[in-house]
Structure formats: structure tokens, C-alpha cells
Structure 1
Amino acid sequence: MKKGVAVTVAAGLAAAGYYWLAESGPQAAGILPYQDPEAVALGKAVYLDQCASCHGADLQGEPNWQDRDSDSYLPAPPQDESGHTWHHPDAQLLDITRRGVAEVVGNGYRSRMGGFAGVLTEEEMLAVLAYIKSRWPAEVIARHNQINSQADN
């Protein structure tokens, strides 16, 4: 192969690789299948069955979710872009879903959200989180992907 052709091919491959990383890098860093329609559909069904009673059918959370109630518990937060779920990387969200907030936070933290290990399969937990993420605006998804790319998953 001639030197000029080899350089052109190498540059083309480098550009293609850069484009692929730019488009799929943050998603690849995460574990949520939020772009998979089947996973999102499963997640929606499981969410409505298992999560909506506290977090709301529209992901809106409970009223006054940032203020402790009379028993010193925080109400269920929203899972939409107005909440803080998207501030956490996928692996941490899965761990919270699996083990429950109090166990993950530790130090005597109290939460009414127990873990779903033994209730939901790993696939169902990932699907629920994928459904939640799929409902966020594009700019929040992009920020969450950036958080994932910087996390130690």
C-alpha cells in the first residue's frame, strides 16, 4: 500500500473510532439498557408494579420529598429530572435498588426503601432503572452518561 493511501486509511479509521467513542463511550461506561425498547418496556411494567406506589406513576415522587416526616424519614424522591437519581452512577443506583438505601448509606441512616434483591431479578432492576433514565430529558441523560464515564463502575 502506498504511504499516502495508508495515511488516509489510518486517518479514516481514527476518525471512525473517535466518532464511535463519542457516540457510545458514555453509554458503554454505564450498565443501564435505556436505549433498548424491550428493556425499557419491561422496566416500565415492573416500575408501575413495584415502585410507582411510592415514587409516583409519573416519576414525580412524594410531596415535600426533601423534608423529613414526623418519623424522621424522607419521603420517596422523584425519579424524574427534578430529583437527584441522575446524580448517581449506574452501579450505585443498582446497588441502592438491590440492597436498599439504609444498607448502602450505612451509619444508621433510616429509609423506608428496602432492597429488592430476592423480589426482582437483576434484569428487572436494570430494566426499571433503564425505564427511569429513558424518561429524562436528553441533556440530563448526557450529564448522567458523563457521570458514568467518570465513575469507577
Structure 2
Amino acid sequence: MKRTVLIAIGGAALIGAALYALSNVSAQTDRIVLRDADPETVARGASVYAANCASCHGANLEGQANWRSPGEDGRLPAPPHDETGHTWHHDGDTLFRLTKYGVGALIKDPDYATNMPNYEDVLSDEDIIAVLSYIKSTWPEDVRARHNDMESRQ
């Protein structure tokens, strides 16, 4: 009887440990999912973009002129977020982290000089996802399909 109780307790502990390990793995693999086909999210994103992003990245996502060449201050101008830029070359997780924490944090260089602020204390996670969803919703279907394909391989 004592042996049966010990086996039961040991089995329960083993199952509990396995469930704990699996929950940690799934928590670490949670990914940002852009909702570019959700009209409510896209509308929210358009509004948040207009209020927080358009002054640098353009009302039509066109970015600043000569965005690939540093300006007089040594910093890169704001890139376009339309299909002519490189935004769609990055997965949703990368775009989210760049927006929330800033370029320096993303590349692990706290001294990286950029005009792009981080939005960690400005926008909620849902607002950031909405903005990125809005941006993606404006891309042509072939670009969105390429982005979706990249996302599915991550």
C-alpha cells in the first residue's frame, strides 16, 4: 500500500513537471500575429498610426526622402512602410519588438543613434499590433502573401 502511494505521488509529480515544462515552452514560442484582415483592428491601427507615426513615416506610409542614406545628423531618415520599403521583409515579432523597445534594444546596441523612439511607455501592445496590422493591410496582395509565407516558416 505504501509503495502504491509513493508511485502515485511520484507519477503525479512527473506529470506536473511535464505540464510545467510544456507550458513554459509554449509561452516562449508565443508569436505576434498581425490581424491585417480584421477591419476593426486595421481601423484602430490607422488611427493610432495617424496620431503617432505619420509625422515621420508619412500619411501614406511613404517614409522620408533618401531613407537609405544617413542625414547630416548621421541618422537614417524614417523608411517607408509601404511595399517600397523593407518593413515587409521582417516578421511580426521583429516589427513588434522594434516598435515597442526601439532599434538599439533590437540590435543589442544601446548607443545606436536613431530618431525612432520606442513606444513601450506610449502605446499598448494591442495598439502596436493594430498599427502593424494596418500597415500590412495596405500592402499589395502579392507582398502580403510573401509576408504570410515568411511568417508561416518562422
Pairwise TM-score range, normalised by the shorter structure = 0.7 to 0.9
Match of 2:146 among 125, 143, 149: 143
Within a 5 Å distance, the mapping from 1:28-43 to structure 2 comes to 31-43=33-45
Matched-pair contact (CA < 8 Å) for 1:81–1:137: yes
State which structure, 1 or 2, has the greater radius of gyration over its C-alpha atoms: 2
Aligned to 1:52: 54
Q: Which runs of 5+ in 1 are unaligned?
A: 1-28
Give 2:49's aligned amino acid: Y
Distance 2:108 2:115 in 1: 14
- Shift of residue 106 of structure 1? 2.6
- Shift of residue 30 of structure 1? 6.0
Instruction: Specify which structure has the bigger relative contact order, considering alpha-carbon pairs within 8 angstroms and separated by 6 or more residues.
Output: 1
Distance 1:114 1:75 in 2: 13
Distance 2:66 2:107 in 1: 21
Count matched residues. 123
Match of 2:90 among 65, 88, 91: 88
User: TM-score, normalised to structure 1's length?
Assistant: 0.77
Match of 1:97 among 75, 83, 99: 99
Distance 1:105 1:58 in 2: 27
Within a 5 Å distance, the mapping from 1:70-85 to structure 2 comes to 70-85=72-87
- Shift of residue 59 of structure 1? 0.1
Deviation beyond 6 Å, 4+ runs, structure 1: none
Q: Which runs of 5+ in 2 are unaligned?
A: 1-30
Q: CA 1:63–1:129 in 2, change beyond 3 Å: closer, same or farther?
A: same
Deviation per CA, 1:85-133, whole angstroms, max 9, x where unpaired?
0000001100001101122123343211121111011110000000000
Q: Give the secondary structure class of the aligned counterpart of 2:135.
A: helix
Match of 1:128 among 131, 138, 147: 131
Verify: 1:118 aligned to 2:121, yes or no: yes
Among all aligned residue pairs of Structure 1 and Structure 2, give the percentage whose two residues are the same amino acid.
47
Once superposed, what is the RMSD of the aligned Cα atoms? 1.2
